[in-house]
Chains A and B, each alone.
Chain A
Amino acid sequence: MNFTNFGKYILLLKAVFRRPEKFSIYMKAIFQQMNFIGVGSLGLISIISTFIGAVMTLQIAFQLVSDFIPRTIIGSVTRDSSILELSPTISAIVLAGKIGSAISSEIGTMRVTEQIDALEIMGINSPGYLILPKILAGITMVPVLVIFAMMLSIIGGFFGGTLSGAISAADYIQGITTDFNPYTIVVALVKAFVFGFIITSVPAYEGFYVQGGALEVAQASTRAVVVSCISILACDYIVTQLLL
């Protein structure tokens, strides 16, 4: 995003947060989006998180082969890595692909088929009507998905580690319950909140300013995913630096 685009993005956000015309209609749209973003992504996030947890446990067990390091460390490292980094970031990147491209192409198609113009002509604040429910759904449902991802990643680590024989069940459970710092959850949820905002607002911006036809909508969709992923990684670094 260059500075002109960033300026346009900020101006769009200003329009998004104008007072809604009718709260009841916006509420309905918010619940629809929460269903799409939250419930619709639960399966994908569950599969990815479980496997990431399992693979991570195996890799940590492979790397920590020493008589001086207790096996319980494998559980601790899996837990902290899942909570602090992998669950929020990997989930966000996966969601940027799934939800980001859908948002960008939906709004982009509405732009090129004059549906956004139709909203404007009716006197409706189109950025607010189209984008606000998505952003609100994103910042509420992505943290919920990340909490699921954390749990499933740790559970996946348990099964991955114990079924392969890399760690015993007792060692793993002792590892994940030892020296747990609840603040890591707070950091993860702050990240999830920020990522939820990025995943919805950046693709919405890309879709909203599409000009042309089907090809441009597809290009905007690709750009939305790329910019979202880069923004997620940049914000991941900033939030980690600020909070840890």
Chain B
Amino acid sequence: MIEVQNIHKSFGANKVLQGITGKFKPGVTNLIIGGSGSGKTTLLKCMIGLHKPEEGNVLYDGREFTNMSFEERIEIRKEIGMLFQGSALFDSMTVEENIMFPLNMFTDQPRAEKLERVNFCLERVNLEGKNKLFPAELSGGMKKRVGIARAIAMNPKYLFVDEPNSGLDPKTSIVIDELIKELTEEYNTTTIVVTHDMNSVMGIGDYILFLHQGKKFWEGSNKEIAHTDIEELNDFVFASRFMKAAKKNF
């Protein structure tokens, strides 16, 4: 379980996060949602240690992460997998080398064993046989899937996903969402997805934390989200005419 306690983060005079608190459980898909500039990516970066919050703590199964030294963090980071918005695959490496990279760095397994793990991960994301392709030869959806394969290569306890559907067509988005949900349930990972995609919210949002102007406005599940009276949340979720019309049927 990952817990965030009273997180505050500013950039100059701009208070991006103001006292965010939340608990993200394992085995369910946790979503952080909010409009552009609401602070969701900043919260994610505070959670994984790319930003240091001015106040507050992040706990990984009770282990206080925020104030750890670089060396202490390494142990927790080995348990983290992350899919970045742009996939962040290493351009100079093939698909196989990308997925094998964390295994090369942190394990002493023989090459055959590592290759077996790579092939398993590729199979898991339906990309069997794409080992020797370079990132530049992949489509957006394939890059995301390779990113997921790399993220799960080390059997992570915690999986972070930043905007998994950005730049993807609706059909591929659903494939990626379902893959994230399957992996979460199968390996009981604590999965946190930052998104503003309403298909994801309705499709895989077991727990949703809604941020607005750097504050936590609402938390609940995708089943509850349609029945709230919070104006800011309704404005965000049911912004389009289609969603407004669909709300009547919820």
Pair A21/B106 contact, Cβ less than 8 Å:
yes
Please provide the chain A residues from 110 to 159 with a CB less than 8 Å away from any CB of chain B in the complex.
110, 113-115, 117-118, 120-125
User: A residues within 8 A CB of B82?
Assistant: 118, 121
A60 to B49, CA, bound (A): 61
Pair A123/B77 contact, Cβ less than 8 Å:
yes
User: B residues within 8 A CB of A110?
Assistant: 90-91
Pair B88/A25 contact, Cβ less than 8 Å:
no
Pair A25/B86 contact, Cβ less than 8 Å:
no
Given the known inter-chain contacts A22-B104, A25-B104, please indicate yes or no for A121 contacting B90, CB distance below 8 A.
no
1/0 contact string of B60-103 vs chain A (CB within 8 Å): 00000000001001111110101011101111000000000110
Pair A113/B50 contact, Cβ less than 8 Å:
no
Given the known inter-chain contacts A114-B85, A115-B88, please indicate yes or no for A121 contacting B105, CB distance below 8 A.
no
- For A120, give the chain B residue with the smallest CB separation: B50
- For B83, give the chain A residue with the smallest CB separation: A118
In the complex, B48 has a CB within 8 A of chain A: yes
Pair B86/A114 contact, Cβ less than 8 Å:
yes
Shortest beta-carbon distance from B179 to chain A in Å: 19
A122 to B76, CA, bound (A): 9
Shortest beta-carbon distance from A38 to chain B in Å: 19
User: B residues within 8 A CB of A118?
Assistant: 82, 84, 88, 90
User: B residues within 8 A CB of A124?
Assistant: 105
User: A residues within 8 A CB of B102?
Assistant: 122
Task: Tally A residues with Cβ within 8 Å of B.
Answer: 17
Q: How large is the interface on B (under 10, 10 to 19, 20 to 34, 35 or more residues)?
A: 20 to 34
User: A residues within 8 A CB of B88?
Assistant: 113-115, 117-118
Given the known inter-chain contacts A22-B104, A115-B91, please indicate yes or no for A123 contacting B74, CB distance below 8 A.
yes
Pair B85/A122 contact, Cβ less than 8 Å:
no
Shortest beta-carbon distance from B90 to chain A in Å: 6
Shortest beta-carbon distance from A40 to chain B in Å: 15
Contact of A25 among B49, B89, B90, B105 (CB under 8 A): B105
A117 to B80, CA, bound (A): 13
Pair B86/A122 contact, Cβ less than 8 Å:
no
Pair A21/B105 contact, Cβ less than 8 Å:
yes
User: B residues within 8 A CB of A120?
Assistant: 49-50, 77
User: B residues within 8 A CB of A123?
Assistant: 73-78, 80, 106
Given the known inter-chain contacts A25-B104, A113-B86, A115-B90, please indicate yes or no for A121 contacting B48, CB distance below 8 A.
yes
User: B residues within 8 A CB of A21?
Assistant: 105-106
Pair B105/A22 contact, Cβ less than 8 Å:
yes
A125 to B106, CA, bound (A): 12
Shortest beta-carbon distance from B144 to chain A in Å: 13
A21 to B89, CA, bound (A): 20
A123 to B84, CA, bound (A): 15
User: B residues within 8 A CB of A115?
Assistant: 88-91
Pair A117/B50 contact, Cβ less than 8 Å:
yes
Shortest beta-carbon distance from A163 to chain B in Å: 44
User: A residues within 8 A CB of B49?
Assistant: 120
User: A residues within 8 A CB of B89?
Assistant: 115
A120 to B101, CA, bound (A): 13
User: A residues within 8 A CB of B86?
Assistant: 113-114
Shortest beta-carbon distance from A147 to chain B in Å: 30
A120 to B45, CA, bound (A): 11
Pair B104/A121 contact, Cβ less than 8 Å:
no
Contact of B84 among A18, A109, A114, A125 (CB under 8 A): A114
User: A residues within 8 A CB of B90?
Assistant: 110, 115, 118
1/0 contact string of A176-207 vs chain B (CB within 8 Å): 00000000000000000000000000000000
Shortest beta-carbon distance from B107 to chain A in Å: 10
User: A residues within 8 A CB of B48?
Assistant: 121
Shortest beta-carbon distance from B61 to chain A in Å: 17
A234 to B82, CA, bound (A): 44
1/0 contact string of B22-63 vs chain A (CB within 8 Å): 000000000000000000000000001110000000000000
A25 to B91, CA, bound (A): 17
User: A residues within 8 A CB of B76?
Assistant: 123
User: B residues within 8 A CB of A109?
Assistant: 91
Shortest beta-carbon distance from B106 to chain A in Å: 7
5 nearest A-B pairs in the assembled complex, by CB-CB distance: A123-B77, A114-B88, A118-B88, A123-B74, A114-B84
Question: A residues within 8 Å of B by Cβ?
Answer: 18, 21-22, 25, 109-110, 113-115, 117-118, 120-125
A sample of 14 more A-B contacts (CB under 8 A), given A118-B82, A123-B76, A123-B77, is: A25-B104, A109-B91, A113-B88, A113-B91, A114-B84, A114-B86, A117-B88, A118-B90, A120-B49, A122-B78, A122-B101, A123-B73, A123-B75, A124-B105
